[in-house]
Structure formats: structure tokens, C-alpha cells
Amino acid sequence: MPRGDLFPDIAPFETGLLPLSGGHVMYWEQVGNPRGQPALFLHGGPGAGAGAVHRRFFDPGHWRVIIFDQRGAGRSRPLGELRDNTTPHLVADIEALRRSLGIDRWLLFGGSWGSTLALAYAQAHPERVTGCVLRGVFLGRRSEVEWFLAGLKRVFPDAWAAFVEHLPPEEREDILGAYLRRLCNPDPLVHLPAARAWSQYEGSCSTLLPSPDTVASFAQDRTALGLARIEAHYFAHDLFLPRDGLLAHMERIAHIPAEVVQGRYDMVCPAETAFDLVAAWPRARLTVVPDAGHSALEPGVRTALVSAVERFRRRV
């Protein structure tokens, strides 16, 4: 039945910790129908972690939803750890989780960096993917990273100024390098203020209208440290993606159906990227939300995402 908003709050029916390579331990949970159609939620960032609200995009009577925190993020441990933390590691982690839970194939649901990781996993394991629901598409191209670090000044000059002013003037020619040095400093008096500045910048630019609650959630220590440190690490290494990019390998998933939801005024991941993706994906359907930015929780975006998931339910 079509819905206009999120489903009610729900608790997991199972949680666990999965040991990974390099000393990492993954937190995971399952919600909804234990015998339902499997769906995997992929959080953003990299490094942002998942939350209880992310369970609510899925009808719990139909879907068996698997949610996990990626290496170094959220409830996974160690928090903010960069060793053995690359996109190929995350793709391998998803496969390890799938096998451990005895799942054959699943729907992928991811926004922002979650859309990047969904594409990387689907291209590596297309036989395991029934479809994709993607939001605020990010392809990890250098131009997209440069937009985040500098281009956003055109639209959010105040937020960008606060972001850059955390650094001394002599280091502002290399924003990413200067932040990464601070974020990797072992002293919390150095890395936590840098993490908050980075994370508040992203939160300030993520909604169409100012949202103090969004900015406050980004500024929480666990979210800020995981997001800022891991995001800067991935940005500094071109997101650990193939040299020729994700669009060069779309033939691997051309047969997989997809729903792409994009806020028209998404400034973190501008709409051009979603249009580029859909142009390269014959079975992708694009929904542009006319009055939304980047956040999955903006009213029009969350409505479109729930509707997209429901359309996949009717495909079965």
C-alpha cells in the first residue's frame, strides 16, 4: 500500500558483532520480518554510521532489513580506525555479512556515500543484487570531492568560512591535507575540534532550509570523529575506487533495476551526478524532488524513498 512517510519506530529482532580483517569488528542488526525479502541499508559518509531512523524506510511486515556500521564507523570498532579501511575492504565486508546471515540476494539501499558503496558492491557481485534504491548520488569523482571542499563556498559561504577558519591561514591552500593531519593526531584536543568543524560544515550544507537539529546530530563526538576522519582519508585516496571510475563499469549492472532519488537543490551531491548515473543505466528510474537538498530525512526525499522501496516490493 502506498505511503507518504516513514514507517513507525521498530527495534531489531537480532544484533551481532562480526570480526573482520585488520582487527575491525562490525556491528550489524536485523529488523522487520525474519522471513521477509532481504534488503541491505548502506549508510553515508564514509564513516557516518547508521541510526534507528534508517530502519523506518521499510515496511517491517514485508522486508528483512540488514543494517550495519562500516569499518571505523558508528558502533563498529575501533571507532575512526583507518588501517585496512578501503572500499575493497568494505565490499568484502558486505559479502562476509551476507554469507554469515545465509542471504542469497538482496536489495541495496544507500544514500550519498552509501550510493557509491552500493554501486561498487553491485559491480563486484551483480549476481547478489535484486535492485538498488539510491539517494543523493555520489560517484567519488575528483570533481565531486573538489566541489565539497571548495565549490560549496558559492552557495554556503558562511558555512565554508567556518570550516576553513578552523585552520591557520598558512595551511588553507591544502584544506584536505591540513584537516587530515589534525584528524589523525592522537590527541583528542586536536582531532575532536577538527572533527566537529568538518562534520558541522557538512551538516550545515545538507538541508534545503537551515536545520539546527541536523547540524547538532552531525556534531556529536561519535558521528563527527568517524565521519570526518574516515571521509578525509577516503577523499585523500580518491575513495579507493577504480582509476576509470564507477561509470566505466556500468555494463556489469545494466540488467539490475534501480530507483534513484535526488533532491533538486542537493548541494553536497549536486543533481548533475544523478543525471550522469541514470544516463549510463538503462534500468534506472530517476525521481527529482523539487523542494529538497541532500538529507534523506527531508519530507519530499523520505516520501520518494519509501515509494521507491514499495515499488520494489511490488516487483516480487
pLDDT band, residue 219 (cuts 50/70/90): confident
> Residue range 80-97: average pLDDT?
98
The number of angstroms, rounded, from the C-alpha of 79 to the middle of its chain's C-alpha atoms is 17
* Last residue within a domain, chosen from 237, 268, 302: 237
Q: In this structure, are 58 and 158 located in the same domain?
A: no
* Last residue within a domain, chosen from 199, 217, 237: 237
Q: In this structure, are 18 and 137 located in the same domain?
A: yes
Quick check: is 6 in a domain?
A: no
Quick check: is 5 in a domain?
A: no
Greater pLDDT, 194 or 213: 194
The whole domain housing 262 covers 14-141+240-315
310 phi-psi bin (left φ>0, alpha ψ -120 to 50, beta other): alpha
* Last residue within a domain, chosen from 237, 271, 289: 237
Q: In this structure, are 30 and 53 located in the same domain?
A: yes
Q: What is the pLDDT of residues 244-257, one digit of tens each?
A: 999 999 999 999 99
Q: In this structure, are 155 and 125 located in the same domain?
A: no
Total-model pTM: 0.96
Q: In this structure, are 43 and 187 located in the same domain?
A: no
For residue 244, give the 3-state DSSP assignment: coil
Which cell goes with 54?
534508517
For residue 76, give the 3-state DSSP assignment: coil
The pLDDT > 70 percentage for the chain reads 98
Quick check: is 9 in a domain?
A: no
pLDDT band, residue 316 (cuts 50/70/90): low
How many structural domains comprise the chain?
Answer: 2
List, in sequence order, every residue forming a beta bridge with 65; answer none if it has no partner: 31, 39
By C-alpha distance, which of 10, 19, 20 is closest to 41?
10
Q: How far, in Å, are 34, 46, 141, 245, 300 from residue 263 at the CA level? A: 32, 20, 19, 23, 8
Residue 68 CA to residue 18 CA, distance in Å, equals: 10
Q: Is the preceding peptide bond at 46 cis, omega within 30 degrees of 0? A: yes
Q: In this structure, are 95 and 131 located in the same domain?
A: yes
List, as one string, the DSSP characters of 205-239.
TSSSS--HHHHHHHHSHHHHHHHHHHHHHHHHTGG
> Known catalytic residues?
112, 266, 294
pLDDT band, residue 4 (cuts 50/70/90): low
